[in-house]
Amino acid sequence: MDLSRVKTRDALKCLPKGEPHWQRIRPGCFIGFAPSAKGGDGTWHARAYDPERRGYRRKALGSFPKEGGNTKFAAAKKEAEQFADTVESGGHSEEKIETVADACQAYAENRSEAEARFKRYIYDDKIAKVKLEKLRRRHLLDWRDRLGAQPALISRRKKGERQTRERAPSTVNRDMAVLRAALNKVLSPGKPNTEAAWQEALKPIRNANGRRTLYLDKVQRGKLLQHISDEARPFVRSLCLLPLRPGAMAALTVADFDARTSELTIGKDKSGKARRIKIPEQASNLFTVQSSDKLPAAPLFMRANGKAWDRNSWKIPIAEAAADAKLPAETVAYTLRHSTITDLVTAGLPLLTIAQISDTSAEMIERHYGHLVSDAAVNALEALAL
């Protein structure tokens, strides 16, 4: 692309988030142009490679209103080269953070999950263009209302009607948390009980994280597996066989499983401490198949693209399978963990053993599943009746 030509720049379309169209000046140095959505002068940008950081730094150069159409490129190119020289020599000439969108982009630079949330709820919202110096509590309260009114997507299947549900308070809290973290990096809290107290608008909803009490029996879990995609079936089946957190299961590698002893090492979980457990025959057979012809560092449960599963990739096939199997719409990956623990408790397995396998405490098992222990005792006494 030749940005020096006025005709070329006039024909450019606006990209999402005001992202510039780039032209390479020299290795590690780029000049960019973002056309104005309102038909005014566009904005010039510079991008330069920082060898210390092993990544690119960016800077907004402005619109150069005093320059003519034919000379804007030359002026912007000169500043872009100066910016690149500064970065390459070890300087840190950073792009100005002026708006909410700027703050979010800076925060999400190395945080892919935050970037995904900002793309969905910030960059295309009018809050993105609000200047940080003018940001007030009312701006964020209005954004929070718009966020809460958006339905949560259950299914993203290409064919058929899109399925949605009301956005849960816990989901709103997670979406607000990343924005609050981004603004905390660049803004000080405002005086309480005033319009300057932007932070008050982003306080989390209390008691939003209710207990996950949805239980699927073995028949329902079997139906889920019948309707799940072939790609996701091994991973989802593993969640039906072992009471692990979905994230811990997804993080397993081939090296974590010893087929000779049917032992599994769980290194990444909530407690942060690795643990080793003996797994039953069905799970061992499944893990043996999944580890076949893979390198030790490869994900034990691998997607078709060679990557490990994560919550952004497993939730869609599970939601679609639950809908096809006519299971409750609240069915999620964590439902399988809760259901498996429930079965272990009602089967009479010692609470301490269940706690060790599932990486929680016996106190937590007692608190959330204690009523099932009582039911199991009643059943045992009834079996002794003459």
pLDDT of 272 = 67
> So what's the pLDDT on residue 210?
52
Quote the pLDDT of residue 160: 59
Count of residues in the chain: 386
Cβ distance 287 to 257 under 8 Å?
Answer: yes
pLDDT of 357: 84
Amino acid at 110: N
Closest by Cα among 314, 343, 334, 308 to 228: 314
Domains of the chain: 6-88 (3.30.160), 100-202 (no CATH), 218-383 (1.10.443.10)
pLDDT of residue 108: 84
Provide the pLDDT for residue 204: 84
Query: For position 31, what pLDDT does the model report?
Result: 95
Read off the tokens for 48. Answer: 């330069």
The pLDDT of residue 325: 93
Sign of the CA dihedral with 82 first, then 85, 90, and 92 last: positive
Q: Which residues of the chain have pLDDT under 70?
A: 38-39, 91-96, 153-165, 207-213, 270-272, 370-386
At residue 386, the pLDDT reads 43
pLDDT digits (tens, 9 = 90+) for 223-236: 999 999 999 999 99
Q: Map tokens 């599994």 to a residue.
A: 264
Tell me the CB-side half-sphere exposure of residue 74, using CA atoms within 13 A. Answer: 6
Which among 122, 164, 165 is positioned nearest to 147, based on CA atoms? 122
CA torsion angle 123 126 132 134 (round to 10): 180
Q: Could you say which DSSP state residue 19 is in? A: P
pLDDT digits (tens, 9 = 90+) for 311-339: 889 989 999 999 999 998 889 999 999 99
d(CA 225, CA 239): 11
- What's this model's pTM, rounded to 2 decimal places? 0.52
How far CA 174 is from CA of 147, 148, 246, in Å, comes to 11, 12, 18
The percentage of residues in the chain with a pLDDT greater than 70, rounded to a whole number, is: 87
Q: Which residues of 196-223 are buried (b: 16+ CB within 10 A; e: fewer)?
A: bebbbbbeeeeeeeeeeeeebeeebbeb
Angle between helices 218-227 and 311-324 (to 10 degrees): 110
Token pair of 312 as six digits? 């952004």
Tell me which amino acid residue 26 is. R
The burial of 40, by beta-carbon neighbours within 10 Å (0-12 exposed, 13-18 middle, 19 or more buried), is given as exposed
